[in-house]
Structure 1
Amino acid sequence: MTEEIKTLFENRTEHPLFYVESGSRLWGIASPDSDYDVRGFHLQSKEQYFDFKKHRDLIEIMDGDFDFVSYDIDKMFGLLAKSNPTVFEWIRAHIIYFNNLPNWDKMQTEIIENFDFKALYYHYLSLAKGNINLMETDKKFTYKTAFYCIRGLLSAELATKKIIPELLIDKLFDQFETENEVIKIAKESLEKKKSKTEKEDVELEKKPILLSKIKAYAQELDKNVPEPSNNPEKLKTILRDYSFELKNHYYGKSTKAQQRV
């Protein structure tokens, strides 16, 4: 995968910075036919950066099972500054295909320490409710849908306790001292999901049991909205300083001075 990313940028002027696996492979619930969801961010070329015209801040490529999305650094850091949980997963990913970032470990730690748990809570609960709606209307009641829903609910509960949810499903389970009913359902069905195709439905007789327990869990979580837990200005400062460092590295020492004009 690393070579594919390098090849992708051979005929482009942007600088690739950081790319990871996202989705079911990262979460440890991949099926035999799961795509490779590669996500990350890049730096525009010097010509693009200093051009008076605005260039596209997104690179998207879909080629077979290779699903690639890359944001430019300004878009990526803008989302991180708002405690966006989707890109927060990217910077915490353990499956890293490409990393060309200086002092990344320190930067990663500072972002994690200053992220907002309220944003995590609403994101994961919203994802779960979206999947509940799909199952409730029987538009999509697959093992993939059920697991994405359960993962969202468990992650939302941890956010209420100011605990960062693990990305791997097995490690996420381990963050709970006792097994609730939803975890039991998830564990019992996990191997079935892994061995089946992404689009295969949950067995008919299991649907109402699974759905009722998931909905009850979601209703309980609705009562436990956490307060904002971070200092947004501190997070912005961390990202701004690192952005200066990167742009100065790639564009030359004049960049930081120009940013202040």
Structure 2
Amino acid sequence: MKETIIKSLLKIEEDFNVKILYAVESGSRAWEFPSKDSDYDVRFIYVHKQNDYLTIDQMGIGKKRDVIELPINDLLDITGWELTKALRLFRKSNPPLMEWLRSGIVYYQAFSTIDQMKELSKNIFAPNSCLHHYLNMASNNFREYLQGDKVRIKKYFYVLRPVLAARWIEKYNEFPPLEFPKLLEDILPNGELKKHIQILLKRKIDGEELDFEPKIEVINDFLNEEILRLREYTKTLNIDIPDFTHNLDLLFRNTLEEVWK
């Protein structure tokens, strides 16, 4: 599959006259709980030529799109962000972008830009915005998927992962790892709750069909309580993040020089 992904990325470079800097897996495969029918969620960062930026209309305005999306099929979902868009979101510690930088499945990387972003990410981290992102994700998925006497069991992971990620931020004041097993092992103590989650995880990875089943009360109760508790915790945070605009402007200019020289 990697060969197919690389071919798709090279065709994007040719069709859109851009250079791709980085491409990774961002979905359940990167989170280490894929199902047998999981698709590939490829996310990439790309840069245009210098003259494309030296116009009166900035990238992302009008017809100058700052996103490239290929038609989604049953197996492959490929979406990319233009570099200035990515850097503006990076400045705000955008969680999806921060996850891309930490993905353990890298399909492609070229030039030095991403290594520099990874180094900067140690300081560009806004706990408030990241906590709100994960809690909103957890709350929405909990409300949509886990109500009623019977629920779609595999959807537990789409609530558990953001809750455990939020707990990681609370515990370590750093951006959480993507891998669900690592979050689970570190954040939850041994006991009934963890045992139920481990059984579900093994069933999902083994390819067992996890459709509608009676909800698991111990997991539901934990998620409900943690979402409420973490909401209150976020209200206690008041953290000022330094402005890294100058550093990111310089990184952008250096990237243009490095890529297109």
1:59 pairs with 2:63? no
The corresponding residue for 2:159 is 149
> Kindly tell me: are residues 127 and 7 of structure 1, through their superposed partners in 2, closer, same or farther at Cα, counting changes over 3 Å?
same
> Kindly tell me: are residues 147 and 177 of structure 1, through their superposed partners in 2, closer, same or farther at Cα, counting changes over 3 Å?
closer
> Kindly tell me: are residues 229 and 105 of structure 1, through their superposed partners in 2, closer, same or farther at Cα, counting changes over 3 Å?
farther
> Kindly tell me: are residues 157 and 180 of structure 1, through their superposed partners in 2, closer, same or farther at Cα, counting changes over 3 Å?
farther
The separation in 1 between residues aligned to 2:98 and 2:191, in whole angstroms, is: 26
Structure 1 residue ranges (4+ consecutive) displaced by more than 4 angstroms after TM superposition: 51-54
Identity %, equivalent residues = 26
The separation in 2 between residues aligned to 1:223 and 1:135, in whole angstroms, is: 23
2:167–2:187 CA contact under 8 A, matched in 1: no
The one of 181, 195, 203 aligned to 1:170: 181
Question: Shift of residue 117 of structure 1?
Answer: 1.3
Question: Shift of residue 239 of structure 1?
Answer: 1.9
The secondary structure found in structure 2 opposite 1:223 is helix
The corresponding residue for 1:16 is 20
- Can you list the C-alpha shifts for 1:136-158, whole angstroms capped at 9, x where unaligned? 445x9434421010011111112
- What residue ranges of structure 2 are gaps of 5+ in the alignment? none
Question: Shift of residue 182 of structure 1?
Answer: 4.5
2:131–2:169 CA contact under 8 A, matched in 1: yes
> Kindly tell me: are residues 24 and 121 of structure 1, through their superposed partners in 2, closer, same or farther at Cα, counting changes over 3 Å?
same
The secondary structure found in structure 1 opposite 2:121 is helix
> Kindly tell me: are residues 69 and 17 of structure 1, through their superposed partners in 2, closer, same or farther at Cα, counting changes over 3 Å?
same
The corresponding residue for 1:45 is 49
1:121 pairs with 2:125? no
1:33–1:197 CA contact under 8 A, matched in 2: no
The corresponding residue for 1:27 is 31
> Kindly tell me: are residues 106 and 13 of structure 1, through their superposed partners in 2, closer, same or farther at Cα, counting changes over 3 Å?
closer
What is the aligned length? 249
The one of 205, 216, 240 aligned to 2:249: 240
> Kindly tell me: are residues 240 and 180 of structure 1, through their superposed partners in 2, closer, same or farther at Cα, counting changes over 3 Å?
farther
- Can you list the C-alpha shifts for 1:59-81, whole angstroms capped at 9, x where unaligned? 01123311001010111111111
The secondary structure found in structure 1 opposite 2:120 is helix
Q: Which range moves more in the overlay, 112-121 or 12-21?
A: 112-121
1:143–1:201 CA contact under 8 A, matched in 2: yes
The separation in 2 between residues aligned to 1:170 and 1:132, in whole angstroms, is: 20
2:36–2:205 CA contact under 8 A, matched in 1: yes
The alignment's C-alpha RMSD in Å is 2.5
- What residue ranges of structure 1 are gaps of 5+ in the alignment? 253-261
2:90–2:124 CA contact under 8 A, matched in 1: no
| Letter in structure 2 aligned against 1:170 | P
The corresponding residue for 2:102 is 92
> Kindly tell me: are residues 18 and 115 of structure 1, through their superposed partners in 2, closer, same or farther at Cα, counting changes over 3 Å?
same
1:105 pairs with 2:105? no
> Kindly tell me: are residues 94 and 85 of structure 1, through their superposed partners in 2, closer, same or farther at Cα, counting changes over 3 Å?
same
1:18–1:99 CA contact under 8 A, matched in 2: yes
- Can you list the C-alpha shifts for 1:85-114, whole angstroms capped at 9, x where unaligned? 111101111211111131643431222332
TM-score by length of 1: 0.84
> Kindly tell me: are residues 184 and 21 of structure 1, through their superposed partners in 2, closer, same or farther at Cα, counting changes over 3 Å?
same
Question: Shift of residue 48 of structure 1?
Answer: 2.8
1:75 pairs with 2:75? no
1:81–1:232 CA contact under 8 A, matched in 2: no
TM-score by length of 2: 0.84
The secondary structure found in structure 1 opposite 2:7 is helix
The separation in 2 between residues aligned to 1:160 and 1:180, in whole angstroms, is: 21
1:111–1:238 CA contact under 8 A, matched in 2: no
